[in-house]
């Protein structure tokens, strides 16, 4: 049986779950981008000019889209969700948040010094290159049968994602 890499420990996933469900980026969120090696500028995130109502609608729409995408990708790749469905729920929520703030479903399980640059690069946009090439999902969203944490679920509903992830910001 294959052993799970250290970076996929349950402790780390618990931390991810705790921080992701509590984090709501403000609408005035700014990201720093470097224009030249000596100067820099600030660009507003994609949702910076949205009203709270518009952002709520955008997040709900993105959450529904990322849930549908995840279910379709599971079916197309013969992978499954984690046995603890709160793991994929939190990851899907993070992908939806990034879709709204960055315009792309950037992997929410990694640290980036410049999220906007990474989203434009596309390497870590879901499904990331390691998943497409080797079926290795760092987030534990798409698991192969040989993964110790694989469950039986091949589908998750919008309501499950919303409930298990602590609810999308502004979505009741």
Which residues are catalytically annotated? 109
Measure the CA–CA gap between 38 and 25, rounded to whole angstroms: 28
Measure the CA–CA gap between 49 and 69, rounded to whole angstroms: 27
Instruction: Output b/e per residue, 76-112; b: 16+ Cβ within 10 A.
Output: eeebbbbebbbbbbbbbbbbbbbbbbbebbbbbbeee
Specify whether the CB–CB gap between 6 and 12 falls below 8 A. no
């Amino acid at each position: 049986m294959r052993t799970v890499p250290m970076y996929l420990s349950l402790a780390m996933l618990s931390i991810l779950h705790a921080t992701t469900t509590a984090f709501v980026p403000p609408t005035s969120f700014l990201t720093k981008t470097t224009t030249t090696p000596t100067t820099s500028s600030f660009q507003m995130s994609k949702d910076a000019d949205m009203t709270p109502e518009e952002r709520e609608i955008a997040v709900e729409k993105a959450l529904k889209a990322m849930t549908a995408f995840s279910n379709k990708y599971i079916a197309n790749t013969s992978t499954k969700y984690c046995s603890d469905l709160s793991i994929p729920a939190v990851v899907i929520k993070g992908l939806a948040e990034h879709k709204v703030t960055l315009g792309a479903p950037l992997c929410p399980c990694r640290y980036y010094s410049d999220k906007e640059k990474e989203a434009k690069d596309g390497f870590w946009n879901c499904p990331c290159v390691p998943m497409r090439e080797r079926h290795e999902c760092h987030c534990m969203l798409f698991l192969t049968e040989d993964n110790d944490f694989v469950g039986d679920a091949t589908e998750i509903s919008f309501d499950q994602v919303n409930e298990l992830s602590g609810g999308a910001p502004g979505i009741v």
